Amino acid sequence: MYAMSAMKQYQQVGVQAQVTEASPHRLIQMLMQGGLDRIYQAKGAIEFGRVAEKGELIGKSIAIIGGLREALDFKEGGELAQNLDRLYQYMIRRLTDANRKNDPAPLAEVADLLREVKSGWDGISD
């Protein structure tokens, strides 16, 4: 048990170091990957009947996507930012559906959408 706790602390320190040194572009990449990771974990929690864990992970996914929405620059991003805002709103609704219905299908849908957005973002150079 101590080894697991130590490992989590080590990972947190590693993530904190990455965040401190990351460019704004890289921070968005990290948020997107974090959202995907939590969605995949939530899907596993549903499959194994871990309801409380599922709720916590979906809540974290919603918070991450909310953070991506907050990072949108409507002045500079124009129509693209507006479209992403609507897409992020949709993702949040679908994650809420997944949580309420204990259904992994909306999780898969949101993961596909977020992976597509991340792929485009990854194609932009820093």
Query: What integer pLDDT is reported at residue 125 of this predicted model?
Result: 75
Give the C-alpha separation, 67 to 81, whole Å: 14
63 domain-assigned: yes
**Residue 22 phi/psi, 5° resolution?**
-80, 150
Distance CA 108, CA 116 (A): 12
Task: Classify residue 20: in a domain, yes or no.
Answer: no
Count of domains in the chain? 1
- Mean pLDDT, residues 29-42 taken together: 97
Q: What pLDDT was estimated at residue 10?
A: 46
Q: What is the average pLDDT score of the chain?
A: 89
Is 90 within the bounds of a domain? yes
Nearest Cα to 34, choosing from 113, 118, 93?
118
> From CA 11, how far away is CA 3, in angstroms rounded?
12
14 belongs to a structural domain? no
Share of the chain above pLDDT 90, in %: 80
* CATH number of domain containing 64: 1.20.120.340
Q: Which residue segment(s) compose the domain that 101 sits in? A: 26-122
Residue 42 has pLDDT above 50, yes or no: yes
Instruction: Report which residue type is found at 37.
Output: D
* pLDDT tens sequence across 3-18: 545 444 545 544 554 5
pLDDT(45) > 90:
yes
Establish if 108 belongs to a structural domain.
yes
Q: How far apart are CA 60 and CA 58, in angstroms?
A: 5
Residue 83, in any domain of the structure:
yes
